[in-house]
Amino acid sequence: MTRHRPEVRGEQHDSGTRSRRGFLALGAGAALLAGGAVAAMSLTSETRGRGVGLVTVPPGTRVIEVNLTGGDLELIGIDGQPATGSWSGRVGEGEPGITTGEVDTTFSITAHPGVDLTLSVPADVELRVATTNGDVTGEELRTERITVQGSHGDVELEWEVAPVEVSVTTTSGDVSIELPEGSGPNGYAIEADTRNGDLDVMPSSGSRPIRVRTTNGDIEVSD
């Protein structure tokens, strides 16, 4: 059964009360985290309907599913820490910035249209990303498995530790993947294809599958 957790909302405040309410929101957020009561909570909010918030991933999560429309996703690799995240974007009054759910060890995040998301992810968490009209970037990644399905956006991923399996498919956008050096059976088995674009892919003869496909865009896979 999916358990929906409280949602983060972006609010509008006038300039005279914004600082005081932002401070109170931070204090309340710290208390909720200490009690482990929520998966997503309000951090602060700004004027003109632009909100920001914090995402706390439940302990024991093994898969994170992300769905974005019109927003960008930034991934950051971390070592020996639980996954965490934050969001920012323009939301209407009373509308949530994100919604979250949890089924067994899978944690899902669905962003409000136009909301950007940043996630810090350790090696033992698999990522499954679906995005429309937005870019996906990742740096110093350690996650062993990642799947990205996108349309109308670029994908740029860089690994600190060699992944076990990577799959990136996009309709329109460039894809750039930078991998740690690998050789022999611990190297990569790269499959790359584009209908309208250039291919710049390093030689491979290993066993770790790296699959990259785009309809309109360039592909680069390097170490």
Q: For residues 45 and 22, is the Cβ–Cβ distance under 8 A?
A: yes
Average pLDDT of the chain is 82
pLDDT attached to residue 1: 39
- Residue 48 banded pLDDT, cuts 50, 70, 90: low
pLDDT attached to residue 33: 35
177: exposed, middle or buried (Cβ count in 10 Å: 0-12, 13-18, 19+):
buried
State mean pLDDT over 152-178.
Answer: 96
**How many angstroms separate the CA atoms of 204 and 184, rounded?**
9
pLDDT attached to residue 202: 93
The percentage of residues in the chain with a pLDDT greater than 70, rounded to a whole number, is 77
Q: For residues 6 and 99, is the Cβ–Cβ distance under 8 A?
A: no
- Residue 42 banded pLDDT, cuts 50, 70, 90: very low
Query: 4 CB contacts (<8 Å, ≥6 apart)?
Result: 99, 100, 101
pLDDT attached to residue 171: 95
- Residue 56 banded pLDDT, cuts 50, 70, 90: confident
State mean pLDDT over 98-110.
Answer: 96
CB atoms within 10 A of CB 191: 14
pLDDT attached to residue 137: 98
What pTM was computed for the model?
0.78
pLDDT attached to residue 62: 96
